[in-house]
Structure 1
Amino acid sequence: MLEHDRPITRAYVLHPDLKTDRTRRAADPALEEAVSLAAALPDLQVVGAEVVRLPKLLPGTLFGKGKIAELKDRMKAEEVELVLIDGHVTPVQQRNLEKAWDVKLLDRTGLILEIFSDRARTAEGVLQVEMAALSYQRTRLVRAWTHLERQRGGLGFVGGPGETQIEADRRAIDMQLQALKRQLEKVVKTRTLHRAARAKVPYPIVALVGYTNAGKSTLFNRLTGADVFAKDMLFATLDPTMRQIELPEGDKIIMSDTVGFISDLPTELVAAFRATLEEVLDADLIVHVRDISHPQTEEQSKDVMAILTSLGVADDAPLLEVWNKIDRLPSDDHDGIVTQAARTEDIFAISAITGEGLDPLLDAISEVLKDPRTADQLVLGFGAGKARAWLFDQGVVTGERQTEDGYVIDVFWTQTQARRFQKLD
């Protein structure tokens, strides 16, 4: 089915705001993000959205009877077909609410899975999303999902020709998961070979990271001349993209565009980030792109840094922070932000749309990547074949002699390479 032929589903977005949850996000920006998530699917039309204040969560229905009845009248008037709840919904709550409202229902995890399925392009991305969807379905067994019966983009949760209503069987899902894992192992092995070949290219890797919709792909396109899909939309980019570019001083680098991070990422999807995150782990420099015009820019920044810290990246590779979308700021705020960034080391205010501020950023990238090299001598045993091979792949070996116990190797390398060597098994 062609994308423009897909039936449009009328959707209603709800953000439960639990008063007793001290860690909850600000309700209005959270609802706005949830609506943006829904808008990322081409066959959804959001016909309404609201924050639902809750004194407590009811285990069977999430909301109280009065609120359920009130929402039912609203949904009937708007001819709603799908309700999107920005949070976790248990299988029991899902069944009860679907029955009460006579609609289909997706929670935050289900919606993000739909978006990832719609966007995945590489073989690994597709397999990871299918595995994540099966893992999600396995905990629910509300309706079946199989790859062969799916005829549309997405996972069939939203509706359309690919949906089935038969009850899923755990054993069948487990068998399918095992089959997908075997396929994935082959794909990962191939990508590992590609990465090993890339490691021999003597150019440093710069990874663009940031909250989803921060403008990474727009910046990537401007710097590389590539045509990566860039749109004012959450998760516009899913699969990692790499391009070689030449900096103003003539230095060549590899730039990597990555999937946007997001708060409360479903656990089932963490593995689906692996391809992108491995590119970040390999980076010589991380450029953290922030949408400085967003009202929640500080919270988004904390979410990104928490993920980078959990990966062990924040303490390894150097990091530059980019305050993007200054073109969207009022003139007074614009001037203040530009001044503040100029006074702060490793922060750059830019507009990826207009190109403002890019020259100082590129100069800083050049400067950071001029990592001073030092001469060291390493002693490796005969069993350290992988470590020895890695040194030669990196092109840092300047001399080697064999002893009774192993090898004495002279190297000339950067601090980044030295840190990576320490992390080798």
Structure 2
Amino acid sequence: MLVEREKIILVGVILPNKTEEAFWNSMNELYSLVKTANGEVMDELTQKLERVSQASFIGSGKLLELAELVEMHEADVVIFNSELSATQVRNISKVVDARIIDRTQLILDIFAMRAKSKEGKLQVAYAQYKYLLPRLSGQGTSLSKLGGGIGSRGPGESKLEMDKRHIREKMYDIKAQLTHVEKHRKRIIDRRNTQSVFRFGLIGYTNAGKSTIFNRLTNETTLEEDKLFATLDPTTRKIRFEGGFHALLTDTVGFIQDLPTTLIAAFRSTLEETANVDVLIHIVDASDPDYLQHETTVIKLLQELEMNHLPTLVVYNKMDKAPATFVPDRPEHLLFSALNPDAPKIIKQRMIELIEKNWSFFTMDLSEENGKELAQIGQQAWLTKLEYIENEACYRIEGYRPRKESTND
């Protein structure tokens, strides 16, 4: 069944603190966000200002122009490429006959669409309520009116206060559920951490190709789409190497610039699994003209999430579509196309190098009667040499394993 797409008008303001190129990149991203949310952009309105209007964000003349655009296109929703205050929403709604939302609400809406796990859904619901609470008074006058008439006087609450109290109760309830879910996830992570498995985490700007790379390396089928936030809930799978050795690979939600502060907490939890990795693999879309800004956004968010200390390999993906002028920005990098038939082999080779760099070299002799332990050692350590010494009736092993175990021999 075809779902009718809502008609959208985009509104953006060019301010002195942003270059025109950065502004248009941000507007293009807003367009992509609308596409992801299954909306259809009918038109866009832009204005150059020294500062935004506290009352209506854009100037009064532009506001009337916006009202005419909405009427002409019979638009359902107007989306501003910045966060709006409750007052601004209320004042714009008096003039413009359409639903008024901002970039933050749009991102929250997409997160709500994409969340699949219980924790993901709870985190998004909490972020939505947190965003809505201070803005309730801007959602139309009906919310703030008293009931009026018999039965509504005395100790009764206004509709607005009831809504606020209801939302606070909901948030309290969600927080309690999240605490329970987080404890369960922490137990899983702690159990995994005792298993001496090397862990990689895929991070990167949204739509950089993380899920495609994840699928090619693990033979999984997580959602691969040319849409923003195709993956929201983190997924961890085994990645197999030669000789029975395996590591763990976690795919995560895509980063985005101007990420709503209400979503930083949701991000923190979805990235919790990645915070426990040994090495981050930062995927960058080399074909995107704004790739440097995307890299900066990811690095800045990693700092906010206190994950910038982790060793990181930057993989410049989609090199088959990259311009001839492309120049890698990071010293530790790999030029790559996930669709190349040799892609898994190329990236696995680099992963092995990273394992050898971050684990400790060891050598040991294993007696013939303990030969059964070989398979187990091969799963938990990366072996570079394995030979049978006949005159000593033992196996000579060389390889790499977690540093914490390197003192055992």
TM-score range, shorter chain: 0.7 to 0.9
Partner of residue 226 from structure 2, selected from 210, 224, 232: 232
Q: CA shift at 1:25, angstroms? A: 7.0
Q: CA shift at 1:416, angstroms? A: 8.3
Question: Measured at CA, do residues 36 and 356 of structure 1 come closer, stay the same or move farther in structure 2, by a change above 3 Å?
Answer: farther
**Residue aligned with 1:140, SS:** helix
Conserved 8 A contact 1:210-1:304: yes
Q: Distance in 1 between matches of 2:344 and 2:33?
A: 29
Q: Superposition RMSD on alpha carbons, in Å?
A: 2.7
Q: Does 1:26 align with 2:19?
A: no
Partner of 2:149: none
Q: Does 1:352 align with 2:346?
A: no
Q: TM-score, normalised by structure 2?
A: 0.79
Q: Distance in 1 between matches of 2:404 and 2:222?
A: 29
Q: Distance in 2 between matches of 1:75 and 1:36?
A: 20
Q: Does 1:322 align with 2:315?
A: yes
Conserved 8 A contact 1:284-1:416: no
Q: Distance in 2 between matches of 1:17 and 1:249?
A: 57
Partner of 2:41: 46
Partner of 1:72: 67
Question: 179-188 or 281-290, which moves further after superposition?
Answer: 179-188
Q: Does 1:14 align with 2:7?
A: no
Q: Distance in 1 between matches of 2:268 and 2:335?
A: 29
**Residue aligned with 1:170, SS:** helix
One-letter amino acid matched to 1:58: S
Question: Measured at CA, do residues 282 and 264 of structure 1 come closer, stay the same or move farther in structure 2, by a change above 3 Å?
Answer: same
Conserved 8 A contact 1:210-1:260: yes
Q: Does 1:89 align with 2:84?
A: yes
Partner of 2:116: 121
Q: Does 1:173 align with 2:170?
A: no
Question: Measured at CA, do residues 63 and 344 of structure 1 come closer, stay the same or move farther in structure 2, by a change above 3 Å?
Answer: closer
Question: 353-362 or 71-80, which moves further after superposition?
Answer: 353-362
State, as a whole percentage, how many aligned pairs show the same letter. Answer: 32
Q: Distance in 1 between matches of 2:93 and 2:341?
A: 48
Question: Measured at CA, do residues 290 and 356 of structure 1 come closer, stay the same or move farther in structure 2, by a change above 3 Å?
Answer: farther
Q: Distance in 2 between matches of 1:143 and 1:5?
A: 30
How far does the alpha carbon of each residue in 1:201-244 deviate from its partner, in whole angstroms, 9 at most, with x for none? 33211100000111101111111111101111111110000110
**Residue aligned with 2:175, SS:** helix
Q: CA shift at 1:415, angstroms? A: 5.1
**Residue aligned with 1:184, SS:** helix
Q: CA shift at 1:190, angstroms? A: 1.4
Q: Distance in 1 between matches of 2:312 and 2:404?
A: 12
Q: TM-score, normalised by structure 1?
A: 0.76
**Residue aligned with 2:7, SS:** strand
Question: 262-271 or 195-204, which moves further after superposition?
Answer: 195-204
Q: Distance in 1 between matches of 2:233 and 2:4?
A: 26
Q: CA shift at 1:81, angstroms? A: 1.1
Partner of 2:215: 221
Q: CA shift at 1:24, angstroms? A: 8.4
How far does the alpha carbon of each residue in 1:108-162 deviate from its partner, in whole angstroms, 9 at most, with x for none? 1111110111111111110011111111110101449xxxxxxxxxxxxxxxxxx
Larger Rg: 2
One-letter amino acid matched to 2:284: R
Partner of residue 307 from structure 1, selected from 294, 301, 308: 301
Structure 2: tracts of 5 or more residues without a match? 141-158, 363-379, 382-399
1:184-333 to structure 2, matched below 5 A, reads 184-248=178-242, 250-315=244-309, 317-329=310-322, 333=324
Q: Distance in 1 between matches of 2:298 and 2:100?
A: 29
Q: How many pairs are equivalent?
A: 350
Q: Distance in 2 between matches of 1:242 and 1:345?
A: 28
Q: Distance in 2 between matches of 1:309 and 1:417?
A: 30
Partner of residue 106 from structure 2, selected from 91, 106, 111: 111
Q: Distance in 2 between matches of 1:35 and 1:344?
A: 29
How far does the alpha carbon of each residue in 1:40-62 deviate from its partner, in whole angstroms, 9 at most, with x for none? 113x2221234332232111011
